[in-house]
Structure 1
Amino acid sequence: MTDKVWLSQYPEEIPHSLTYEDIPVQSLLTRGYEKYPNKISVHFMGRDLTFKEVYESSLKFANYLRRLGVEKGDRVAIMLPNCPQAVIAYYGVLYAGGIVVQTNPLYTERELQYQMEDSGAKVILALDILYPRITKVLKRTKIENVIITAVKDYLPFPKNLIYPFIQKRQYGFSVKVEHKGITHLFTEIMRTQEATPINVPFNSEEDIALLQYTGGTTGSPKGVMLTHRNLVANTKMCDAWMYKCKDGEEVFLGVLPFFHVYGMTTVLILSVMKYGKMVLLPKFDIEQTLKTIDKHKPTLFPGAPTMYIGLLNHPDIGKYDLSSIKACLSGSAPLPVEVQEKFEAITGGKLVEGYGLTETSPVTHVNFIWGNRVKGSIGVPWPDTDAVILRSSDGTILPPGEIGEIAIKGPQVMKGYWNRPEDTAMTFVDGWFLTGDLGYMDDDGYFYVVDRKKDMIIAGGFNIYPREVEEVLYEHDAIQECVVAGIPDPYRGETVKAYIVLKEGKSVTEAELNKYCRQNLAAFKVPRYYEFRKELPKTAVGKILRRTLVEEEKQKNLELQAK
């Protein structure tokens, strides 16, 4: 334990320590149903679902999973954008005793296969347009059953009739799936299954609720094991931080994807804990988001800097009423001060920067929403969260002002990495979780991130791991050497650039590489820029110096700004 100097900065409304109930995550939905059965829980594109409807639909899904042989601890993948089915399935898997494996709908076959193999998922729920992708990897995974749904399934009339034509025009194909064999239709499950409560014993501190995949520069993506206690604790901390928000009155804008742990905690779970209404958008579209805020009056808008920047740069922002917004927690990337100030001026609400990682459920630090904020800081640790700056060489706790690695302790810190005991052991030192980020703490207990120890790229709030992109590039027969780095981007924060050395006698164009990468990587991971070189900078032992290339890009930017 440290002396937690930051506690002196806490406003009196925020307790220094909280009480955490020994309950599984899905108990929060049960309470919502019991307390406000007829209150709207989910709004999606003109369709409303009450707490009763979400609760009963989740139980139907849970019972069907049990019929399919899902037992306590089995993994069930959810490959959906934000939609009612994503909410129902998330709580349904937990009611059944399963472990949710959140899967990005943008994943290619290669990425999907890896995650399904590593997690050992028995069942996957996905959109109809993803069905062809899933069928191609089925035999190389442990998936026994596939459940298919469609966006139109929860659209009101006449949108539900029109949407299939829009989808066919958008994707160039339509998919027809039948309810037979190992393929099941979500609509049939909802139509035929009973909403019977299931009694599964839980140990909230030990039982895993979620496998959330994250990556790194040292290998393939890893499944982060987050327990029921991890998620309930982090959501409770968020609730305490937002002390002006009232039970049963808040409207959450659900535009952060639920397959990202940040959107899951701050909307999918917190909204249910607060008996609020979540207004869901399947993807971030600037104009659609502005229209949604204007019409549905959300009070809370968790997001990423690119979202706030996109809204502020829309030429017609003045036509929309954004004054309903009380508070926004910005995460996933650094928040520019000018964006914070401009957004607050337009909305009249508060926008504050926070910090966290998948391994911490995810939030550990945030600036005060209605208290003292420090520009450029990620804020102070949340209640019951301890943080220090460690010297990388020997693990010594450093004094204020000195730069080292940020390390965390708290009830939101993961149980470990799925089936990777060695990686787990390397990530903890004397009980401290090592974030891999370099930073410092000031005399008042405010923390600052100065650089990432890891070479992870954060582009538009998405985590991109250079090694993963490099592995795809190295499989191209024209490439001899390559290295991928994040370079400054005014909109995405960072974007992906690949530096390439071609094999002698071989040639390939940027357009050809772009097409190749799009076949093997999710769109957000595909390099935006390619630079062909005769050689790459290396150490004496032949290790490519990625940081040298990053510094070159920063220098180019400075020179351009000077001109």
Structure 2
Amino acid sequence: MDSLPGTGPDYVLRALELFAKYGDREALVVGETRFTYTELRAAVLDIAANLVDSGLRPGATVAIMLGFPPQAPMIQLALHLLGCRTAWVSNASSVMELAAYLDQVRPEALLYEVAVHEQRGRDIVDRLRIPTFCVGPGGAGPDVLAPRPTGSAPFDVDSVTGPATGTPESVFQTSGTTGIPKPLLHTANLYEQILTLAEQIVAAGEPRYRHLSVTPMWFVAGQTSAFLYLFTGGTLLVMRFFRAAEFLELLESEQVNSTFITPLMLYELLDHPEIDKHDLSAMVVLSVGTAATNPVRLRQAVDRFGPVIRITYGLSESPFISAFPGVASDPHRQERVGSCGPAYGDVRLQIRGEDGTVLPAGGTGELWVASRLNFAGYVSRPEQTAETLVDGWVRTGDLGYVDDEGYIYLTGRVSDVIITTSGSYHIFPRAIEDALTTHPQVRAAAVIGVPHPRLGEAAHAYVVLADGATVTEQELIDLVTEKLTWAWAPRSFDFVDDLPRTGSGKTNTRRLREEYAALHVLVESTTD
């Protein structure tokens, strides 16, 4: 996919103006490292200068492999200031996924963090033979964080405003239904709209947020929240890994008043034995999203935290679709606790039937959304882009309805994606089935998503074995883990003589789900 018409790095220039205005306010906290807005702005300009001095061509496509360096937001802004297309690599990528992703985005340069990705970075350099830049010394390229030479002139922002600079864009690595990544492209529209939302937050007189993020920058949601709170002049606190005890301590010690977590993280907090020993009274907005939240646990969260819970809904293709702030039990609308709220910001919603017809309020169909936050398409995948992006509308693939007051209720998914673990990993049955059937003693396999008391959802495999087979469940788990990752491994199995079929000969997964539901009961519990 070629770059779409844009306006250059305008949003970065506006952000730099805001950072100058915010001055000595605390901007960013990662572990023991803290930046003011003055320091953050200076870092953006110094990184951009180092990149240019080291030979990066403005407008280039740059693959980015980072862990959690404090400078990650500054690196993104510096590259966008130069009109580059940044292609973010997920840290959870397998070797196969990484190779497939890079083959599609065709990077012209690589930037990687030496402390985290040294061997993988050098492997890519050896394979692609592209210019390389590093975060930290000792890597295969110059360190973009190195201090500027004494006496060097400040970076000239006027040098990046010409038409030859390029248009800032970002590509994110998302999973495809076959396990092959779909590179998802967002233009500067995403960041321009984040700026607009930030301006609205400030204009509404909302408090200055101290937002704690556990979402990495290689996710769209990670960048959406990071820049939203930086653009408002708040403080962004970044936690590298979610651990309930440390998370609770940080909420209290840093007087965090905003955060975003997944439902499974919420459950872990609620079940933690030390939760009542922490003063969490500073909390103003506790957002929960990425998957459906169990209504029972949601009510428990409201009872524990108060009316600060906000349910959000979005996806990589359109990261902020709806928000339901101040969730509480409404005796007149008891079903509303199952809603993800009304449309947020500039989002327009439609519920459409299978034939594309717009349905009235209350009608169940697929949710379509239009917003400046919508993505621009999948890189190198025109057919999938055409299926998902129709006349400016994103087909979410989610089924649901909208009530007479505009509240969204999701009832299922068009696809069979399984959302598992506290990180809300998206895994897909086909890739697991393909991995299982590579074993010589497996004749056939079918995988469905089933409820799991700790993981939310997990893969359950129906396996048809060859005569005389001796393979064990653990061996099959190890096989899937080796070929994919641990998150994809089935947590339970049924060994069957054959798989049910539909009239067209396909595996009847609906029947498998019905049979599983009839034979298995998930007991709700507040403990693991």
TM > 0.5:
yes
Q: How many Å separate the matches in 1 of 2:255 and 2:442?
A: 51
Q: How many Å separate the matches in 2 of 1:497 and 1:68?
A: 51
1:194 deviation in Å? 7.0
Candidates 227, 251, 260, aligned match of 2:187:
227
Are 1:289 and 2:247 matched, yes or no? yes
CA contact (8 A) 1:487 1:494 kept: yes
Are 1:183 and 2:141 matched, yes or no? yes
Deviations for 1:301-348, whole angstroms, at most 9, x for unmatched residues? 122111111111101111111111101222100122333333333334
Q: 2:3 aligns to what? A: none
* Structure 1 residues 402 and 415: alpha-carbon distance in aligned structure 2, compared to 1, 3 A threshold: same
1:238 deviation in Å? 6.8
Aligned to 1:496, the other structure's residue is in SS state strand
Deviations for 1:35-67, whole angstroms, at most 9, x for unmatched residues? 122221111212211112222222222233334
Aligned to 2:45, the other structure's residue is in SS state helix
Deviations for 1:157-202, whole angstroms, at most 9, x for unmatched residues? xxxxxxxxxxxxxxxxxxxx724xx334455467889751443248
Matched letter for residue 311 of structure 1: L
Aligned to 2:400, the other structure's residue is in SS state strand
Candidates 476, 480, 484, aligned match of 1:517:
480
Q: How many Å separate the matches in 1 of 2:483 and 2:243?
A: 25
CA contact (8 A) 1:117 1:142 kept: no
Q: How many Å separate the matches in 2 of 1:498 and 1:73?
A: 46
* Structure 1 residues 334 and 136: alpha-carbon distance in aligned structure 2, compared to 1, 3 A threshold: same
Q: 1:341 aligns to what? A: 299
Candidates 523, 535, 542, aligned match of 2:505:
542
1:230 deviation in Å? 2.2
CA contact (8 A) 1:42 1:49 kept: yes
* Structure 1 residues 352 and 238: alpha-carbon distance in aligned structure 2, compared to 1, 3 A threshold: farther
TM alignment of 1:439-458, pairs within 5 A: 439-458=400-419
Matched letter for residue 220 of structure 2: V
Q: How many Å separate the matches in 2 of 1:308 and 1:194?
A: 48
TM alignment of 1:140-539, pairs within 5 A: 140-141=127-128, 143-145=130-132, 147-149=134-136, 178-179=138-139, 182-185=140-143, 187-188=145-146, 196-198=155-157, 199-201=159-161, 207-217=167-177, 220-234=180-194, 236-237=196-197, 240=200, 246=206, 249-266=208-225, 268-360=226-318, 362-369=319-326, 374-392=336-354, 394-459=355-420, 460=422, 461-504=424-467, 507-539=470-502
Candidates 106, 112, 133, aligned match of 2:120:
133
Aligned to 2:261, the other structure's residue is in SS state coil
Q: 1:162 aligns to what? A: none
* Structure 1 residues 190 and 506: alpha-carbon distance in aligned structure 2, compared to 1, 3 A threshold: farther
CA contact (8 A) 1:82 1:255 kept: no
Q: How many Å separate the matches in 2 of 1:89 and 1:481?
A: 47
Aligned to 1:448, the other structure's residue is in SS state strand
Are 1:33 and 2:19 matched, yes or no? yes
* Structure 1 residues 97 and 331: alpha-carbon distance in aligned structure 2, compared to 1, 3 A threshold: same
Q: How many Å separate the matches in 2 of 1:66 and 1:351?
A: 44
CA contact (8 A) 2:310 2:326 kept: yes
Q: How many Å separate the matches in 2 of 1:75 and 1:22?
A: 15
* Structure 1 residues 129 and 432: alpha-carbon distance in aligned structure 2, compared to 1, 3 A threshold: closer
TM-score by length of 2: 0.86
* Structure 1 residues 500 and 43: alpha-carbon distance in aligned structure 2, compared to 1, 3 A threshold: same
Are 1:93 and 2:79 matched, yes or no? yes
CA contact (8 A) 1:484 1:498 kept: yes
1:242 deviation in Å? 8.8
Matched letter for residue 544 of structure 1: T
Report which stretch shifted further, 231-240 or 73-82: 231-240
RCO greater where, 1 or 2, for CA within 8 Å and sep 6 or more?
1
Deviations for 1:457-477, whole angstroms, at most 9, x for unmatched residues? 112322223334344444444
* Structure 1 residues 145 and 443: alpha-carbon distance in aligned structure 2, compared to 1, 3 A threshold: same
TM alignment of 1:38-49, pairs within 5 A: 38-49=24-35
Q: How many Å separate the matches in 1 of 2:516 and 2:106?
A: 41
How high is the sequence identity, in percent, across the aligned residues? 27
Q: How many Å separate the matches in 2 of 1:528 and 1:448?
A: 29
Deviations for 1:351-375, whole angstroms, at most 9, x for unmatched residues? 1212111111x01111244899931
Aligned to 1:402, the other structure's residue is in SS state coil
* Structure 1 residues 84 and 539: alpha-carbon distance in aligned structure 2, compared to 1, 3 A threshold: same
1:553 deviation in Å? 3.0
* RMSD between superposed Cα atoms in Å: 3.1
Matched letter for residue 452 of structure 1: R
Q: How many Å separate the matches in 2 of 1:528 and 1:65?
A: 46
The unaligned stretches of length 5 or more in structure 2 are 1-6
1:239 deviation in Å? 6.3
Aligned to 2:415, the other structure's residue is in SS state coil
* Structure 1 residues 190 and 490: alpha-carbon distance in aligned structure 2, compared to 1, 3 A threshold: farther
TM-score by length of 1: 0.81
